[in-house]
Chain A
Amino acid sequence: DTGVSQNPRHKITKRGQNVTFRCDPISEHNRLYWYRQTLGQGPEFLTYFQNEAQLEKSRLLSDRFSAERPKGSFSTLEIQRTEQGDSAMYLCASSPPTDTQYFGPGTRLTVL
């Protein structure tokens, strides 16, 4: 399968714990995006990488959130000191320079 992959698919954690999600983009896609989706809403943009550079961050990305894309390949999204309000589906997308974004299956986070 050559699509965008995300791991884990599901994560249950207790409030206050740290969690990390991984996204592997489509090979040779130089752009990578993170979105968050809460129940009943459309996805909301979090952040965007072009190669290894993080070019844009949403105001939704509080200081408890950090994203990296070392070497311009896979990316990780870490949430520190999770809160119940962080419960959501976290989506990753990648795109080539023509910029049509292709999404992964998402990681569903539940904070107890």
Chain B
Amino acid sequence: DAKTTQPPSMDCAEGRAANLPCNHSTISGNEYVYWYRQIHSQGPQYIIHGLKNNETNEMASLIITEDRKSSTLILPHATLRDTAVYYCIVRVAWETSGSRLTFGEGTQLTVNP
């Protein structure tokens, strides 16, 4: 699976949009971009994933550049409960084996009142 690079930490004001970047310059054509987050002492929570088109769900939006070498997770109106470590992961989906998620160190997002 391709390696990802994320900033170690970011701050955001409550109510503002949080934009979390991720670089994955070695991504392959059959690899998806997944985002998870982990609130302190809880299990990781799935947020969203995409291949090449932008995606949106009730939690967030995922913007993937045309060359697929980077992406941005957008939390449109951050709340204090969005304070967490956010992980960007690239992996081949629907493999019959080797379906592990490889987590990096992620980005610690702190939402400030």
Contacts and interface: CB of A to CB of B under 8 A. Distances in A.
Q: Answer whether A and B are interacting partners.
A: yes
Interface of A: 4, 31, 33, 35, 41-45, 48, 50, 55-56, 58, 89, 91, 93, 95, 97-106, 108
Contact of B87 (A42, A95, A98, A105): A42
Contacts of B42: 105-106
A45 B34 CA distance: 16
Contacts, number: 64
B105 interface: yes
A43 B46 CA distance: 14
A99 B93 contact: yes
Contact of A103 (B34, B45, B100, B106): B45
A98 B43 CA distance: 20
B99 A31 contact: yes
Where chain B touches its partner, the secondary structure class is loop
B: interface residue count bin = 20 to 34
Where chain A touches its partner, the secondary structure class is strand
B3 to A, nearest CB: 13
Given A56-B99, A105-B43, 13 more contacts: A41-B105, A42-B104, A42-B105, A43-B103, A56-B100, A91-B43, A91-B44, A95-B99, A98-B93, A103-B36, A103-B46, A105-B42, A106-B41
A103 B38 CA distance: 10
A105 B41 CA distance: 8
| Residue of B34, B49, B87, B100 with most chain A CB atoms under a 10 A cut-off | B100
B95 A44 contact: no
Given A43-B44, A91-B44, A106-B42, A99 B95 contact: yes
Given A98-B94, A99-B93, A45 B101 contact: yes
